[in-house]
Structure 1
Amino acid sequence: MSHAQEPSSVPEDDLAPTQTAGYKVGQQKTIDELAQLDAEDESLARWKASLGIGAGAGAGAGPSSSSGSGPNVEILGLSLTAPTRAQPIQLDLTDSDKVKDLKKSPIVIKEGAEYNVELKFKVNHGLVSGLKYIQAVRRLGATVDKLESMIGSYGPSPEPVVKKFVTEEAPTGMLARSGTYAVRSRVIDDDGKVYVDFEWAFKLAKEW
């Protein structure tokens, strides 16, 4: 998904992933190559099967899955769920025109409410390693919150994956309710490949 033409209200530095000391990104391998590694290791075989790799991985795990069309990872939507709200707030990320308008139409979050961000995505082909979600929130030109969470590694599957992140609590008070919060969200993998990078916004209110 391409960046918007106008300057971002959330700078690039806010989206920089944390680097793990001593960690090095491994050489990219195909699904067929991974399926042949340590074939006698039962625990590794179960892990690979969970990613859709190798024998016993189920439909869609064969060689044809690694050469399909479309992006490796298709980001379908972002949702906010809360115990105090009957229905989630859903952001559709499949329409690029709608995505561009997200930051112009702030969603409403109840002050002091606990909520979770959920990401819905699908791996169409290949193996993606070390997917990570990064979210930065800015208000009045300053970063007020950053969420960085590991999503994991996945092989191709026709079924979407829904990843729920840690519970967050919205600020409270009259000052917090004034103005708009700018949010920039990004999904990135171990190799630094960005699968989605978009902006949205929210306002705080006394009720949803």
Structure 2
Amino acid sequence: MSEPILDHIDSVDEELEVESNYKPPPEKTIEQILEADKEDESLKKYKETLLGEAKAGGVIVDPNDPRKVIVKKLALCVTDRPDMELDLTGDLTQLKKQTFVIKEGVSYKIRIDFVVQREIVHGLKYLQKTYRLGVPEVTVDKMTHMVGSYPPKTEIQSYTTSAEDAPSGVMARGSYTVNSLFTDDDRNEHLKWEWSFDIKKDWRE
């Protein structure tokens, strides 16, 4: 029997935190950022431009959602092919019914679309752990991506990972499950979800 997704994600988070020497900077509010170095006029203008509408007292995209980060979509991006997308705003338990097909050996990237509201979010991270389905399940890959710090905006913001190569060969073909977590320096869990893909010899299979 597969382990619960929460156990998978917790272990991903713990393992990657142990391996990283990254130390998050102290969290600052919009007001603190604007106050720092305010005697430097050019820097002040730069920060005001960077923060945009956030400095006007907060951006609230969805007043019914208390989260600072609302994760909207995950996309698998392959050059010269339409993006394969997962809607992350609905019932996450239904995602396992939507399986991506990836041609073996192809180079792909993962894009995460999200909205930041209310306050600046510091040190966003995307964690991922991939399992090969079978008896028993086998962990084949785990990764962490430092997404960065973002101000609140009404527009959707995106992060795209560096390119990864899908495994190839007869032994690599099969079904895989991925446990994903979007978190930050303070270990706030903005979203965790499970999705799946199949590695096949060709796109048409």
* Distance (Å, rounded) in 1 between the aligned partners of 2:120 and 2:44: 15
Instruction: Give the letter for the 1:101 counterpart.
Output: Q
Aligned partner of 1:117 in structure 2 is: 110
Q: Is the CA contact 1:182–1:199 (under 8 Å) kept in the aligned structure 2?
A: yes
Q: How does 1:71-90 map to 2 (within 5 A)?
A: 71-85=67-81, 87-90=82-85
* Offset, 1:22: 7.2
| DSSP-derived class of the 1:65 partner | coil
Q: Is the CA contact 2:75–2:112 (under 8 Å) kept in the aligned structure 1?
A: yes
Instruction: Give the direction of change, closer, same or farther, for the CA distance of 1:63–1:100 in structure 2 (3 Å limit).
Output: same
* Offset, 1:145: 1.1
- Say which of 40, 57, 74 aligns to 1:63: 57
Aligned partner of 1:165 in structure 2 is: 161
Aligned-pair identity in percent equals 35
* Offset, 1:174: 1.7
User: How many residue pairs end up in the alignment?
Assistant: 193
* Distance (Å, rounded) in 2 between the aligned partners of 1:185 and 1:49: 34
| CA displacement 1:100-158 (0-9 Å, x = unmatched) | 11123321111111000001011122010111111110114222112211111111111
| DSSP-derived class of the 1:175 partner | helix
* Distance (Å, rounded) in 2 between the aligned partners of 1:196 and 1:12: 13
Aligned partner of 1:188 in structure 2 is: 183
Instruction: Give the letter for the 2:153 counterpart.
Output: S
Aligned partner of 1:12 in structure 2 is: 10
* Distance (Å, rounded) in 2 between the aligned partners of 1:62 and 1:183: 39
* Offset, 1:68: 7.2
* Distance (Å, rounded) in 1 between the aligned partners of 2:46 and 2:93: 38
Instruction: Give the letter for the 1:207 counterpart.
Output: D
Unaligned runs of 5+ in 2: none
TM-score (norm 2): 0.82
Unaligned runs of 5+ in 1: 1-5
Instruction: Give the letter for the 1:137 counterpart.
Output: T
Q: Is the CA contact 1:113–1:169 (under 8 Å) kept in the aligned structure 2?
A: yes
| Bigger shift: residues 60-69 or 168-177 | 60-69
Q: Is the CA contact 1:10–1:182 (under 8 Å) kept in the aligned structure 2?
A: no
* Distance (Å, rounded) in 2 between the aligned partners of 1:43 and 1:90: 41
Q: How does 1:98-137 map to 2 (within 5 A)?
A: 99-137=92-130
CA RMSD of superposed structures (Å): 2.5
* Distance (Å, rounded) in 2 between the aligned partners of 1:65 and 1:112: 42
- Say which of 173, 177, 180 aligns to 1:177: 173
* Offset, 1:49: 3.4
Aligned partner of 2:139 in structure 1 is: 143
Aligned partner of 2:192 in structure 1 is: 197
| CA displacement 1:27-68 (0-9 Å, x = unmatched) | x4332232212212457546633541xxxx3x3531143797
Instruction: Give the letter for the 1:124 counterpart.
Output: Q
| DSSP-derived class of the 1:101 partner | helix
Instruction: Give the letter for the 1:186 counterpart.
Output: L
Q: Is the CA contact 1:111–1:170 (under 8 Å) kept in the aligned structure 2?
A: yes
